[in-house]
Amino acid sequence: MIDLDHVTRQFDGKRRVVALDDVSLSIPRGEMVSIIGPSGSGKSTLLNLVGGLDRPTSGQVRVAGQALAGLPDDELTRVRRDSIGFIFQFFNLLPTLSCLENVGLPLHLRGWPRAKVRERATELLELVQLTDRLQHLPEELSGGERQRVAIARALSIYPPILLADEPTGNLDTQTGADILALISDLHARLGSTVVIVTHDMKVAGSCQRTIALRDGRVVEDIRRSRTAPPGKVVGG
Amino acid sequence: MQLLVLISWPYFRKHILRTLLTVAGIVLGVAVFVGMHTANQSVLFAFNRTVDRIAGKTELQVTAGETGFDEEVLERVQSAESVRVAVPMIEAVVDSQIPGEGSLLILGVDMTGDRSLREYDLESGDEAVIDDPLVFLAQPDSIILTSEFAGKNHFTVNSQVPLGTAFGVRRFTVRGIMKSSGLSSAFGGNLAIMDIYAAQKMFGRGRTFDRIDIAVTPGRTIAEAREELRALLGPGFQVDPPSGRGQQFEAMTAAYSMMVSISSLFALFIGMFIIYNAFAIAVTQRRAEIGILRALGATRGQIRRLFLVESAVTGLVGSIGGLAFGLIIARGIAASIGDLINDVYGVAQRADEIATSPMLLGLALVIGIITSIVAAFIPARQAARVDPVQALQKGKYQVLSAGENRVRAALAGIFAVVSVACLMASSSRVVFYIGFALAIAVALLLAPLLSLALSRAIRPLLKWLRPVEGALAADSLIQTPRRTSASVAALMLSLAVVVAFGGMAGASYSSIIDWMNTALNPDLFVIPSQDLTIRTLRFPAEMAQELAALPGVGRVQRVRNARIMFRGTPIMVVATEIASLSETVRRPPIEGDADAMYRLTAAGQGVMVSENLAQLQTLKLGETLEIPAPEGVVRLPIVGILVDYSDQQGTVLIDRTVFERYWRDDSVNAFRVYLAAGADVPEVKRRILERYAGERQVFVLTNTELKAYILRITDQWFALTSVQIAVAVLVAILGIVNTLTVSITDRRREIGVLKAVGALGGQIRRTIWMEALSVATLGLVLGFALGAVNLYYILQIVQHDIAGMRLDYIFPVSVTLALIPTMLASSFIAAIWPAESAVRGSLVEALEYE
């Protein structure tokens, strides 16, 4: 589903920084993978490249069989909006839009009819247990609720790939566990490929596979036959 | 100063575009101020220089307005003890008949006496012509040219020069060429000397002179000579030093100067608002930085000073740029003002050089800096009040608190009541202007509240148009009322001025057209010059009979119009055959009885005055008007007040017999010709032209042509409105670019998220475009509303302080309809670059941005 072939990403400033150094890896369809490593190890860079938010300096990134290098901006955006859902550490909800509008945002951008957008967004907010918050603005929600809205938004197109950058990093332990349970549950139900960047070993342990990065290189790639229990599943 | 280097300079460098936009605000204001005033001064300077150079050693001049006077006045003047030399002169501006050369100023002088006042320094070999004036006099086709004019057009002694005269184009022989000197450079060098008696004949002046130039007897003061001559000649003559003509010129063009001043002040005010806008945005942008500075020990005073010094530096840089740009545009404006003054006032002059006044430039520099500091004062105070703890609470400071809203609304309410009271309670002009200023203040106070309310109101519409882009564009405006309202208010102000001037222009056009349709109803107008306002060429009275005898001509009315001095102001006297006029033109008076006013004026028992004269000179119906004339003071009651656009300073309409008696002048400026029933207009026009072909210079305008001519002059007058629209467009672009640049910085993460969840480049662009169009829409709505109020005040100012004309309140629908696409297109253009920068910004950086 996701293939990186000798991918390097370097940043040229006053000092050249190699964020990813000749990384090759493959993530099959439906796998739930965590990426761990210390700060500056290249985790987020890897996620950005997979998500088409950034472009490699060299090497090739393929998502769902499509090579991203060389795609024009709008084509890259189309790959993103058709195949990838994002969950951010700081939620990145638009503060002026209600929960319903935030979740419906990617669908509106795809030109869906209003009624269909509303129907799908409501359905997803039900899925993340926020039926009673449809018209609330993000600032009226708790951190956990905001992240659930962000997850619902990421799932709005039922993407084959879900990318999460420290999804529990900005939440307290219990809420973090709940969110992780929700992601695991959705993964199980929807069968999406999930890539989670995290510092948290508990989160990493709940995934089928963990890739460890250090100084821009893959230093460990662990596959588990059984995953650790993710905690209470919201609405489970 | 250290803070300026440490804090401000890096900020300016980082936000180079925004800094340039801020400076552009002041450049714009100062440039328009300097450009307009320099141009105006240059025109006045050129006029004065021409007067001065022609005057030579002249100490006093005797004139009777522009009507001229009988030759015998010269003897009376020469008989005065305090007069050493008195020489007559005729001035005529004629068509040079040379493509690209325009007009030529002809001085008709008496060579026998004139050289004691003026130096005619001829190029070698020509001196004999002047040494023996009889040679010059004996050949009435003689002419002396300046070396500038001769050189440009390759004329030498004995060349033949064609000139437009009362008898058509006549060829004159060059008898001498003046060396470059003071006199020869008058009127931009387009000057020629002719014998005065030849000039009288050539320009149809009869036995009259335009003026007498005087040198005072040694031992007598100018003041003594002036008193003696005034007593000798009576009130119908003006006895002034040559500089007095400059003052008359200024008085005549006062209305135009007032318009120029209003326009330039408006540009400065708009510039101030752009600065305010930029600094208000900068303060909100740099809140965190200010918070850190405060936390590190900077006092409120230091923060305030930092922003004020920044604004002073901005003002200085912008003013210097404005001075340079202003001087560049001054040349173009001067040419345009020169043409306008020529066409509207009939005073030909050439502003070939730009008269830069150090005083004006210094004033503009100071005004630019002060404007900048004043504009930044409120943002600087807000910066000083920043709470270090709250400084990092992103977004909160953009919101208008309920308390602030209440204070604004309450103040606006109080100001509105006082403003209305000012209008109703007193007729004092000062109180009126205070009321006007308060009305503007009300609009400025309410602008943020109304912007917010309107942004909320249009959100559903925008969302309906584009669910994501529309909603986000509206939300951006709603979330940042300070940023939004600053741009909206700048736009509102500039549009309000455009609407008001557009309304004034519209009302003027409507009134002028109404006047033309009733007063100017002859089928043909026979005139001696292509230019209606040039009155230096005139017809003899007998031509009326000749015209009347032509087949197809039914009625001929003789019109003599001339500018005279009345209470120190140049006004227009129009003398015609009122009895005949009353049979062809029945115009309802504003005051007076229509039948009686025509009857009494025709009988020489009264005068009619224009509404603007009555207003500007506070004249009442029935009041006896005293008009000084060469043959005594005309004392006649005002029997009617009517609308008339013959002159901006006002018109007195009298019967021709009165004019002939008091001015001893029966010449004619124009014939109003009515055709006999069934006659064909082009055919009669052809007959008139054929009748005078080769004999006399005659131009025949049809009714349609005359009206088109007047409308063309009116267009020139209102060309200022186009300048204001251009300024409004610039304001829109500057303000919107500024707002959007900041908006995009503020919304970097939001735009990043949009892109991350699938927004295409086109969708991001549309969001920014919609925001820009929304700002323009808010500005248009508020600008039209304030413009409606502004128009009322401007019409009052026009009536009471500028032109004395009562214009109907007509909201300029066509101007507003034209402004809508103009401003929307401008805002769209302004949004192109910011939108592209939003699309091209790094997604990863945007998502990490906080």
User: Low-confidence residues of chain B, pLDDT below 70?
Assistant: 1-7, 124-138, 182, 184-185, 252, 342-352, 387-402, 720-721, 724-725, 728, 731-732, 848-850
* In a domain? residue A236: no
Q: Can you give the pLDDT at residue B389?
A: 62
Position B508 in a domain: no
Boundary of a domain, candidates B661, B696, B731: B696
In angstroms, the CA B835 to CA B842 distance is: 14
Which chain B residues touch A51 with a CB distance below 8 Å?
756
pLDDT tens track, chain A, 236 positions: 899 999 999 888 767 888 899 999 999 988 999 999 988 888 888 988 998 888 899 999 998 888 888 888 888 888 888 888 888 877 788 888 889 988 988 888 888 888 999 999 998 898 888 889 889 988 888 888 888 898 888 888 888 898 988 888 777 778 788 888 888 887 888 788 999 998 888 888 888 899 999 989 999 888 876 555 554 444 33
Buried b (16+ CB within 10 A) or exposed e, B236-267: bbbbbbbebbbebbebbbbbbbebbebbbebb
> Which of A48, A109, A117 lies nearest to residue B758, judging by beta carbons?
A109
Kindly report the nearest CA distance between residue A119 and chain B, in angstroms.
15
Q: What is the model's pLDDT at position A231?
A: 45
DSSP-based three-state secondary structure for B665: coil
B467 contacts A80? CB cut-off 8 A: no
Q: Which residues of A touch B (CB under 8 A)?
A: 48, 51, 53-54, 73-74, 77-78, 80-82, 86, 88, 90, 92-97, 101, 104-106, 108-110, 114, 117, 153, 157
A152 occurs within a structural domain: yes
CB nearest to A94's CB, from B472, B763, B847: B472
Q: How many domains does chain B have?
A: 2
Q: Domain count for chain A, please give it.
A: 1
At residue B732, the pLDDT reads 67
Q: What's the one-letter identity of residue A17?
A: V
Q: Within a domain: residue A11?
A: yes
Residues of chain B with C-beta less than 8 angstroms from the C-beta of A88: 753, 847
Tokens of B477: 């405006």
- Of residues B475, B760, B847, nearest to A77 (C-beta): B760
| CB distance B120 to B183 below 8 Å | yes
Structural domain of residue B667, as residue ranges?
538-696
The answer to the question of residue B593 being in a domain is yes
CB contact under 8 A, B758 and A81: yes
Inter-chain touch A108–B754, beta carbons under 8 Å: no
Q: Who among B475, B756, B844 is closest to A86 (CB)?
A: B756
Q: Characterize the bridge pairing of strands B624-629 and B632-642.
A: antiparallel
Contact between A96 and B472 using a beta-carbon 8 Å cutoff: yes
Give me the domain span that covers residue A214. Answer: 2-223
Alpha helices in B629-671 (DSSP H): 656-663
CATH of the domain at A207: 3.40.50.300
**What's the pLDDT at B416?**
95
* SS3 category, B243: helix
| Residue B377: closest CA among B234, B294, B280, B448 | B280
Chain B: give the shortest CA distance to residue A98, in Å.
11
Q: In sequence order, which residues have a C-beta less than 8 Å from that of residue B297 and are 6 or more positions away? A: none
Nearest CA in chain A to B850: A90
Chain B residues touching residue A47 (CB < 8 angstroms): none
- How far away is chain B from the Cα of A2, in angstroms, using its nearest Cα? 18
Interface test with A, best of B757, B766, B844, B850 (most A CBs within 10 A): B757
Total H helices, total E strands in chain A? 7, 10
HSE value, Cβ hemisphere, 13 Å, CA-based, for B519:
21
- For the beta sheet containing B83-95, the strands, ordered from the edge strand earlier in sequence to the opposite edge, are B160-165, B168-178, B142-146, B191-195, B103-109, B83-95, B211-216, B60-63, B238-240
Q: Confirm if B664 and B589 have CB atoms less than 8 A apart.
A: no
- B236 within some domain: yes
Q: Which pLDDT score is estimated for A233?
A: 42
Sort out which chain B residues have CB atoms less than 8 A from A48's CB and list them: 843-844
Give SS3 for B392. Answer: helix
- Distance between CA B444 and CA B299 in Å, rounded? 30
Task: Choose one of B678, B696, B714: the last residue of a domain.
Answer: B696
Task: Report d(CA B95, CA B192) in Å as an integer.
Answer: 12
A109–B755 CB contact, under 8 Å: no
Q: Is residue A234 part of a domain?
A: no
Residue recorded with tokens 């790959």: A79
Cross-chain Cβ contact A105/B475 below 8 Å: no
Residue A34: inside a domain: yes
Beta-carbon contacts of B87 under 8 Å, excluding residues fewer than 6 positions away, are B109, B110, B113, B114, B116, B117, B212, B213
* Residue type for position B287: R
CA angle B556, B557, B562 (to 5 degrees): 145
B770 CA: distance to closest CA in chain A (Å):
16
Contact call for A92 and B760, based on CB within 8 A = no
pLDDT of residue B49: 77
Can you read off the two tokens belonging to residue B739? 């707002």
Report if residue A75 sits inside a domain: yes
- Is this complex scored with an ipTM above 0.90? no
Q: Within a domain: residue A194? A: yes
Q: For testing the chain B interface, which of A96, A116, A117, A146 should be mutated: the one with the most B CBs within 10 Å?
A: A96
Tell me the chain A residues in contact with residue B759 when contact means C-beta distances shorter than 8 Å. Answer: 77, 109
Boundary of a domain, candidates B181, B209, B241? B241
Nearest residue of A to residue B477 by CA position? A96
* Assigned domain for A231 exists: no
Cα–Cα distance for residue pair B501/B494, rounded to 1 Å:
11
Whether B468 sits inside 8 A of A53 (CB atoms) is no
Measure A144 CA to nearest chain B CA, in Å.
19
**Minimal Cα–Cα distance from B765 to chain A, Å?**
13
In a domain, B106, yes or no: yes
Q: State whether B757 and A77 contact (CB < 8 Å).
A: no
